[in-house]
Each structure stands twice: as structure tokens, then as C-alpha cells.
Amino acid sequence: MAYDLICIVCPNGCHLHVDDDFNVTGNRCPRGAVYAKQEVTNPTRVVTSTVRIDSKVLKVLPVKTKAPVSKKKIFDVMAVINKTSVKVPVHIGDVLVKDIAGTGADLVATRDILE
């Protein structure tokens, strides 16, 4: 299956075409080819969201997957995030869910909430 995508590596925004054999055209530089192959074979994203917290100051704690996860798993990750709630104190980097939704990535806090 062939793909058309916009390169996000630099402001050029090249319109890339990837054919069945993963040959990339439309790129003005080699970085575009690397991006296109990754994006077509195994696109990944860091998921950022919030979980509930029993804090006096904030209702929600911002979180992220510590590593990028497969794009296909984003909504599986969100389903776990939406069921997660945590108690204070929480520090940046605290692991809240290990190996979230079988992605291999941990869900970690991205803000200190101490009370």
C-alpha cells in the first residue's frame, strides 16, 4: 500500500510519497526519507493527558507515556488513563502505571503535586 504524507522535520513541509517497497519520493533531504519510513512502518507518539488526583489545589495531574507508543495503541492508553486516579504527593517522573496497555511504556507524572 502506498502512502502520501507531509514531512514534519523542517519548515519545507515536503509532500512525501512512499511506495509499496518503501521507496520515498518528494523529499528534498535524506531526513525526509527516514521520517517517512518510520511513519509508514511504525508510527509512534508520546501520549499526554491527565489523571484524577485527590489534591486540594488541582483536580487533575498531567501525565505522559515515558516513551513513544504505537499510534494504534493511543486509545487503549487513553482507556487506562481515564480509569486511573492517584493520591498526593506525586513528583515528576513517578511511575503511575507500568507498561500501560501493553505498550512497554510506563505512564509517568509530569507535575509535582504535593498536597
* Distance (Å, whole) CA 82 – CA 79: 5
**7 lines the binding site for another protein (CB under 8 A):** yes
Number of helices and strands in the chain (H, E): 2, 10
**78 lines the binding site for another protein (CB under 8 A):** yes
Angle at 104 between CA 98 and CA 110, to 5 degrees: 55
Question: Which of 62, 80, 94, 106: binder of another protein (CB under 8 A)?
Answer: 62
3-state helix vs strand vs coil in the chain, percent to 5: 25, 30, 45
Contacts for 100 with CB less than 8 Å, ≥ 6 apart: 65, 69, 77, 80, 81, 106, 107
Per CB under 8 A, the segment of 19-27, 69-77, 98-106 that binds another protein is: 69-77
**55 lines the binding site for another protein (CB under 8 A):** no
Identity of the residue, 11 or 87, whose beta carbon is nearer to another protein in the bound complex: 11
Per CB under 8 A, the segment of 19-27, 73-81, 94-102 that binds another protein is: 73-81
Give the binding site for another protein (CB under 8 A). Answer: 5-8, 10-13, 28, 45-50, 52, 57-60, 62, 64, 71, 74-75, 78, 92, 110-112
